[in-house]
Each structure stands twice: as structure tokens, then as C-alpha cells.
Amino acid sequence: MHKSLRVILICLVVFSFAGCDQATKSLAKRDLQFSTPVTLIGGLIRLQYAENEGAFLNIGGNLPAVFRRLVAIVLTIIILGGFTLLLSFAQDFTLPRLISFSLLLAGSLGNMIDRMFHQGRVVDFLIVGTKTIHTGIFNVADLLITTSIVILFITEVFRRRAA
């Protein structure tokens, strides 16, 4: 894939999906923050507002706020910069890998924006499952990061089988 086309695709994926993440978080803050949880599809999906101070599933949430915020933002900037350079200059990226890393960037950017503008917190609002078996609370950025990892895993499995 030509470098300019690759950069356009990366930007399109990153900014559109990070924008979707921010839009859904804005709606969650507006419509769910002071309301009772909303259930959909017979309770399979629950919309419930929460603010996460830590990383994935609130890991590190008990660290001092200034340290937690600084580490989260600095690490995300390093990750964003590294993956942006990798995506921009790597010649052997397949389309699925390119999209996967772009989704990872979009999710990271979405959560970093939250941390920068919401006192180090990330807005979460989705829970999937039943009353007894369910996910932790998450957001679209988390879903993008998870989807990225799944795509990378699947493409790697197929690549190894083909080799």
C-alpha cells in the first residue's frame, strides 16, 4: 500500500473512531450520569454511568491522583507516538494489521482525551452480560482496543497457518 494512502487510512480510522468514542461518552455523561441504569435486549446490555480513575478495570485506581494522571497521559503519548511511527514507516503491514493498530490508536487517544480533560478519569458506561455473568464496565475506546487485539490474534493465527 502506498505511504500516502496508508496515512490517509490511519487518520480516517483513528479520528473517526476516537470521535465516536468521545461522542458516546458525551451522551453517557449527559443522559446517564444522574439516572438509573438503562437495560437493553432483555438485560443483556446495561448502560450505567461510571468514572474510572485507573487503567483497564480500574487497575491503579488507588494511586495518588497526580501520579496516576501523569503516568496515564505520558504512557499514552509514548504509545501513540510509537504506533504512529510504526504505522507510518513499516512497509510490510497488511490491511488487517494496519486497521488493527489504527483501532488501538483510536481507543488509546479516546481514553487519553478523557484523562486530560476530566481530572484523570475516563467515562465508562457499558456492561454486557446477565445478572450473574457480565463484563466489567467499559466504553467504546476499550472496545476498540479489545477489537484490535482480537484482529491481531486472528491475523497472526492465519499467518502462521499459511507459513
Residue ranges of domains in the chain: 3-162
pLDDT at res. 53: 80
The arrangement of strands across the sheet holding 45-52 comes to 38-40, 45-52, 122-128
What's the N-to-C CA distance of the chain in angstroms? 22
Q: Is 21 a catalytic residue?
A: no
Question: How far is residue 128's CA from residue 5's CA, in Å, rounded to a whole number?
Answer: 36
pLDDT of residue 61: 63
Residue 122 CA to residue 129 CA, distance in Å, equals 22
Single out the catalytic residue among 21, 31, 114, 124: 124
Q: Are 144 and 101 in contact (CB under 8 A)?
A: no
Task: Find the catalytic residue in 31, 92, 114, 142.
Answer: 142
Residues of the chain below pLDDT 70: 1, 54-63, 65
CB 124, CB 25: distance < 8 Å: no
Active site residue 142: yes
From CA 83, how far away is CA 24, in angstroms rounded? 25
- In this prediction, residue 20 carries a pLDDT of 98
Q: What is the pLDDT of residue 149?
A: 95
Per-residue pLDDT tens digits for 102-146: 999 999 899 989 988 888 789 999 999 998 899 989 999 999 999
